[in-house]
Amino acid sequence: MAATLSPPRILPSGDSAITVEFSRNIDDAANQRVLALDRTLASEPVAGITETVPTYRSLLVHYDPLQIDFDKLGAKLTALALRPVPPETRTRRWRIPVVYGGEHGIDLEDVAKTLKTTPDDIVARHVAGDYRVAMIGFTPGWSYLSGLEKFLHMSRRQNPRLLTPAGTISIGGVQTGVQCLAGPSGWHLLGRTAVRTYQLHRDPTFLLEPGDRVTFSAVDAKTFAEQDRAAEAGEIIAEQIAA
């Protein structure tokens, strides 16, 4: 299997970071290699590396150039990246409740019209998905999920919104996502969840991690309001289920 893996691109990112790029496209195979290298560096520390940041298709590696130089670190990262990718183990699975449509999902009806179907069908398809956390980024806790059904793939909005609510569940391109904090977005808003994927004074601060699996369940507005109050108090609303 190792012989079939193509070497990653090793790219300088300033004078103290390297980007290990496995693909120029979004795909799970590249992301699995990213996360595998990240786990390897966590279990087999390389002197001089100060931080790693996994993304969909690359791993950003910060390092101290006084301890290790670009060429030596690049060669080490290439060798580690060419190891066979082990199967993901101890994968956590989460069920996240979502209130769809209405004031909580203001784009649901427009998405249904664009895709020539009904809002109920969009919800049913979204709930039926089995998603994988590919990366965390943009704002704290923003979880990018792969595995969106092809039928639901949509170009992002031509005019992004400057502010969208905390807890928004949306779709954009080939992805769906869980937005933890209020912020700008060009994605299509299907609903909201009371789950805080990031909560500063809670343990754990970040709920979801790259490699976790996620499914969604539909709840009504009253349940969302109750869950939102509980989550604000620090309760973890997402249900961890057996793999």
> Do 139 and 62 fall within a single domain?
no
Q: Looking at residue 150, what DSSP letter applies?
A: G
Task: Assign 4 a pLDDT band (cuts: 50, 70, 90).
Answer: low
Predicted TM-score (pTM) of the model is 0.86
Q: What is the pLDDT of residues 49-69, one digit of tens each?
A: 999 999 999 999 999 999 999
Region 147-168 average pLDDT = 96
Q: Is the peptide bond before 204 cis (omega within 30 degrees of 0)?
A: yes
| CATH label of the domain that carries residue 190 | 2.40.100.10
88 in a domain, yes or no?
A: no
At residue 2, the pLDDT reads 42
Query: Across all residues in the chain, what is the average pLDDT?
Result: 93
Q: Looking at residue 101, what DSSP letter applies?
A: S
> Do 98 and 208 fall within a single domain?
yes
> Do 128 and 191 fall within a single domain?
yes
> Do 106 and 71 fall within a single domain?
no
145 in a domain, yes or no?
A: yes
- Cα–Cα distances (Å) from 221 to 98, 195, 226, 233, 241, in that order, read 9, 14, 9, 19, 23
> Do 140 and 205 fall within a single domain?
yes
At residue 25, the pLDDT reads 86
At residue 156, the pLDDT reads 95
> Do 30 and 132 fall within a single domain?
no
pLDDT exceeds 60 at position 229:
yes
Three-class secondary structure of residue 146 per DSSP: strand
Cβ–Cβ < 8 Å for 63, 13: no
Cα 154 to the center of its chain, rounded Å: 18
Q: Choose the final residue of a domain: 58, 81, 104.
A: 81
- Structural domain that includes position 177: 93-241
Amino acid letter, 44: E
Count of structural domains, the chain: 2
86 in a domain, yes or no?
A: no
Q: What is the pLDDT of residues 68-123, one digit of tens each?
A: 999 999 999 999 999 988 777 668 999 999 999 999 999 999 999 999 999 999 99
> Do 200 and 228 fall within a single domain?
yes
At residue 3, the pLDDT reads 46
Structure tokens at 147: 């595995």
Task: Assign 28 a pLDDT band (cuts: 50, 70, 90).
Answer: confident
> Do 221 and 137 fall within a single domain?
yes
Q: How far apart are CA 38 and CA 162, in angstroms?
A: 33
The residue whose two tokens read 């940041």 is 53
Region 149-178 average pLDDT = 96
| CATH label of the domain that carries residue 17 | 3.30.1360.40
